[in-house]
Amino acid sequence: MEAKTIGSAIGATSLAFGITDILAGKRFGRGIGAGAVEGGTLFRTVGTREVVTGAIGLAFPSSSIPVWTRFAADIADMAALGSVIARPNPKRAMAVTALAIVAGVALMDFLAARAIDRRTRAAA
């Protein structure tokens, strides 16, 4: 697969995740036990970052920089979810599930960024 194809796929995925997080942020926040206000703010913030990263990724699909940025943000997202998990929370299992999903996405972002870097170097 070409670097441009990988970058475009990650960019489109980021846009989709971002829009979903913005629209359903309060619901997601309640679902992981962070509450509608705090969780809603968290998910809207994450969603906005995803939309921006996705748009940049689509504009520059052969660059790994948006994907590396997304990977770094995944780490920050995991830290935020960790704080939700660490406190008393009746929905801790859902927060742990969300953390596992973000960890999987982070792994995919890491591998995609490396693949773009390798393909870009090979083409040069």
The pTM score is 0.89
d(CA 93, CA 76): 20
Q: Which pLDDT value is given to residue 78? A: 96
Q: Which pLDDT value is given to residue 39? A: 86
Among 32, 37, 38, 46, residue whose Cα is nearest residue 90: 32
- End-to-end CA gap in the chain: 16
d(CA 34, CA 73): 19
Is the pLDDT reported for residue 71 higher than 70?
Answer: yes
Is the pLDDT reported for residue 82 higher than 80?
Answer: yes
Is the pLDDT reported for residue 1 higher than 80?
Answer: no
Residues 51 and 31: beta-carbon distance below 8 Å = no
Q: Which pLDDT value is given to residue 2? A: 85
Mean pLDDT of 95-99: 96
